[in-house]
Amino acid sequence: SREIRLASRPQGEPQPSNFELAEVDVPDPAEGEIAVRTTFMSVDPYMRGRMNEKSYAQVFEIGKPLFGGAVGEVVASGAEGFAPGDVVVHQQGWREYATMPANHARKVPAGGVPESAYLGVLGMTGLTAYVGLLDIAGLKDGDVVFVSGAAGAVGSLAGQIAKLKGHTVIGSAGSAEKVAHLVDDLGFDHAFNYNDGPVGKQLRAAAPDGIDVYFDNVGGEHLEAAIFSLHPFGRVALCGAISGYNAKELEPGPRNLHLCVGNRLTLRGFIISDHQDRFGDFAREVGAWVASGDVKFRETIVDGGIEAAPQAFMDLLRGANVGKMLVRFG
């Protein structure tokens, strides 16, 4: 079996030389363990942080395999309740086969939804959108909502949930094709390409009367623009700040933070692993929307298995994806 290891810590944008492909023996499962063959693995922006020496999530070690969300098929089981052929979600991505305690894996419900969805719209990124919008931003009737990174995994669901709950929703993304997808396929009221001009100006044009909630996936210029547009008592869910993930030097923060005082704004960060207690509510509500077709989910699936994973991750950081970025194993 093969796995991807961290060869060195990236300085700025990750390079192929930061990754290393290695051959390993995968042990047979002992009692209480299962062996799983990867079918899909997730690449996620937060993995960039884990490649640094410090991150909010457990950091990757040089010379050791990377890890992260994956789905796979049980090929051997020493654990009660798990049998070959079962499909599970687990955290041992970046490898072709993995042996793990069965309680580190969750069985995927049998049903009409493709298994890859449990890494995206019905998995970690979906829960992030749900919790960020409803609990962290405290969405309430009448809110006008702005979502950045809106064509990505988290942003596309956050915007659709707000639409399904009756809100006016504005999205930003990095290409004309993505902007068209937001409006034509996902039902956003307005969308703009942040590469077309200053974010503040484009946001004011899309929401001339201002906004109440900002779901921030991007940070930087987007956050500053949102602070200018937020109404008194507006709320920001600080979910991510991808515009700075590859920066070698810290960039200056929003220059208008003082407006948070007079406008009584709330800017609240969150990490989804603290909110697993919401998984049941999320799976019921969003699961029903996915089943009915009210929530649409795009996936950008890269074929080629383990060897294709580093490039897929690097491409994700450059915006090559629409919806959830995944690597498919043969």
The piece of 14-22, 23-31, 96-104, 153-161 that touches ligand NDP (CB under 6 A) is 153-161
- For ligand NDP, give the closer residue by CB, 220 or 287: 220
The piece of 11-19, 196-204, 265-273, 285-293 that touches ligand NDP (CB under 6 A) is 265-273
In the complex, the smallest distance separating the C-beta of residue 255 from ligand NDP, rounded to whole angstroms, is 18
User: DSSP string of 233-297?
Assistant: EEEEEE---GGGTT-SSPPP--TTTTHHHHTT-EEEE--GGGGGGGHHHHHHHHHHHHHHTSS--
- For ligand NDP, give the closer residue by CB, 79 or 129: 129
In the complex, the smallest distance separating the C-beta of residue 225 from ligand NDP, rounded to whole angstroms, is 12
Query: Which strands, in side-by-side order, build the sheet including 168-173?
Result: 190-193, 168-173, 144-147, 211-216, 230-238, 266-269
Options 185, 263, 270, 301; binder of ligand NDP; rule CB under 6 A: 270
- For ligand NDP, give the closer residue by CB, 34 or 131: 131
In the complex, the smallest distance separating the C-beta of residue 16 from ligand NDP, rounded to whole angstroms, is 19
Specify whether the backbone of 85 is left (phi greater than 0), alpha (psi in -120 to 50) or beta: left
Q: For residue 76, with 0-12 CB atoms within 10 Å meaning exposed, 13-18 middle and 19 or more buried, which class applies? A: middle
In the complex, the smallest distance separating the C-beta of residue 151 from ligand NDP, rounded to whole angstroms, is 5
* Separation of alpha carbons 85 and 87, rounded Å: 6
Does 200 help bind ligand NDP (rule: CB under 6 A)? no
Site string for ligand NDP, 14-53 (x = CB under 6 A): ------------------------------xxx-------
Answer yes or no: are the C-beta atoms of 91 and 66 closer than 8 Å: no
Options 5, 178, 190, 235; binder of ligand NDP; rule CB under 6 A: 178
10 Å Cβ neighbour count for 324? 29
Q: For residue 67, with 0-12 CB atoms within 10 Å meaning exposed, 13-18 middle and 19 or more buried, which class applies? A: buried
- For ligand NDP, give the closer residue by CB, 167 or 222: 222
Answer yes or no: are the C-beta atoms of 22 and 90 closer than 8 Å: no
Q: How many CA atoms lie within 13 A of 203 on its CB side?
A: 27
User: Token pair of 216, please?
Assistant: 């921030």
Options 125, 160, 168, 229; binder of ligand NDP; rule CB under 6 A: 125
Options 173, 226, 267, 295; binder of ligand NDP; rule CB under 6 A: 173
Total residues at interface with ligand NDP (CB under 6 A) = 29
In the complex, the smallest distance separating the C-beta of residue 25 from ligand NDP, rounded to whole angstroms, is 32
Angle at 321 between CA 317 and CA 325, to 5 degrees: 85
Q: Binding residues for ligand NDP, per CB under 6 A?
A: 44-46, 125, 128, 149, 151-155, 173-175, 178, 217-218, 239-240, 242-243, 270-272, 316-317, 319, 321, 325
